[in-house]
Amino acid sequence: MPYQGGKRLSGERASKLGHLDVVNSDLVNELIAQFEDQEPTQVETPASWVEIPDDGIPLRLIFAVDGSKQTIRSDLPPYKELSFIKTALLRLDQHAIAKLDPVSPHPMALRDIMSDSAMYHATVLPLKGVSVKGKNNYDAVRGIIFDSMRDQSLNAEPYETLKWLAYEKWSGQKKPSPSFSCPHCQEEVVGLPFDQDEGTCGHCGGHLYLTDMIGFHLEMSEDAAPDSVATSYMLIHETLMLFTGIRIFWDVGKYSVLRNSLFIKDGPLSLNGQYSKLTIPIRNFFEFAKARDISVHVVGQEKTGGFVDHLELISRNAPRNSVFAPSNEYIRKEIQHRPERSEPYGSRTNYGNKVFVKFDAYHHLVLSIPTGGYTDSYSLDVFFGLKNILASLPPILSHRHECALVPVELANGVASLSSYPSAAIFKVFADI
């Protein structure tokens, strides 16, 4: 997802209503003027900002993931709809970033970084009116998702990561996958046996893919899939790309590399609705790593939404170089305005808690950082690797876009290019 234009760094923001010059009503013009000149609201909040700890150590290696999606519809009947999805993982080190001109990075320097250190995945999902090998749309999409996850240009590594998460392979126990709803009869399947790719429903005998466990079929009908399936695929795949980096280092015992790496995800660390099946295994992984004193630094950065809007308001009064972790109570009252008895924020869906950070007048970020199991504590101590994560961010703050991080901008560049030379996955990890 691209960074949105800011107010100070990326030049004049285009007038949202400027194109409505056909409007001649004085009243309408006055309303438009009020809308555009609106003074920032002063918001009093109980936000308790504290200074960013100064003993964090910047992490040497940085990985960033991002994705893009484009849905194409035919103009004439029979209407067809296809969605193209791309995700990218990019590796950078602080040394390479230090060499980039922060204001105007040279395109060739960026190209070199990308060609050596980026890997990407691209696929296409038929959403409507496309028949594949005589299957209905529903089964075609299920099959394509299963095949796409095992993308051979990436040596099926993101799929191996799905299995690693679904079966909690780090634990050394032979656990079954999480339970899920059968795509044929909708009965609950207790989970596929350990390490299986495919299986059979015990209720109806229907064929099952491990990727059915993720739950895409729950938002599809027999003839069509909504655009949101493509968005969900992109989000799940971004998550798998991110954890592929972690898994590869973990599996070969390169814990010192992990301790020195920062994994940045575009967007919050959360999986919503039926897609939250993987949230618990991911939380379990962070707990497992913590119990072995292996720091895994993961951070999500949100660029839109209620938290970003809220930080926009409260960061004005926040001191420079400060951090604030909102409690569930704060989120409920000040940001979401939800009733008191509602479920704790993100307890089922998030694998990181929110952290607001203000570095300077141009850079304030909504981050999420893992805490292991769900906690409502907003002490900075609950966040895994918080000090080192925060120490790693100032050198990668963008000077081109407000509130932006260079690695995410670059990953976005890879993910949004229509074609890009493929790079073997292991190249990204091999020379470390």
Q: Which is nearer to Zn ion, 6 or 206 (CB)?
A: 206
Q: x/- binding map, residues 201-230, to Zn ion, per CB under 5 A?
A: x-xx-x------------------------
Q: Which residues contact 148 (CB under 8 A, 6 or more apart)?
A: 121, 123, 233
Question: Binding of Zn ion at residue 57 (CB under 5 A)?
Answer: no
Which residues are 71's β-sheet partners? Answer: 83
Q: Which is nearer to Zn ion, 192 or 318 (CB)?
A: 192
CB of 226 vs Zn ion, minimal distance in Å: 23
Q: Which residues contact 387 (CB under 8 A, 6 or more apart)?
A: 53, 55, 56, 57
CA dist., res. 382 & res. 345, Å (int)? 16
Q: Are strands 61-73 and 118-128 parallel, antiparallel or unpaired?
A: unpaired
**Residue 425 · residue 154 · CB < 8 Å:** yes
CB of 212 vs Zn ion, minimal distance in Å: 10
CA dist., res. 421 & res. 120, Å (int)? 9
**Residue 365 · residue 357 · CB < 8 Å:** yes
Q: In this structure, how many other beta carbons lie within 10 angstroms of the beta carbon of residue 136?
A: 13
CB of 418 vs Zn ion, minimal distance in Å: 39
Q: Of 175, 184, 254, 333, which one interacts with Zn ion (CB under 5 A)?
A: 184
The residue count for binding Zn ion (CB under 5 A) is 7
Phi, psi of 62, rounded to the nearest 5 degrees? -130, 130
Span from 121-129, 159-167, 185-193, 421-429 in contact with Zn ion (CB under 5 A): 185-193
Span from 193-201, 251-259, 361-369, 399-407 in contact with Zn ion (CB under 5 A): 193-201
How many residues in the chain?
Answer: 432
Q: Of 92, 182, 264, 397, which one interacts with Zn ion (CB under 5 A)?
A: 182
Q: Which is nearer to Zn ion, 81 or 212 (CB)?
A: 212
CB of 187 vs Zn ion, minimal distance in Å: 5
Span from 114-122, 184-192, 212-220, 267-275 in contact with Zn ion (CB under 5 A): 184-192
Binding site for Zn ion (CB under 5 A): 182, 184-185, 201, 203-204, 206
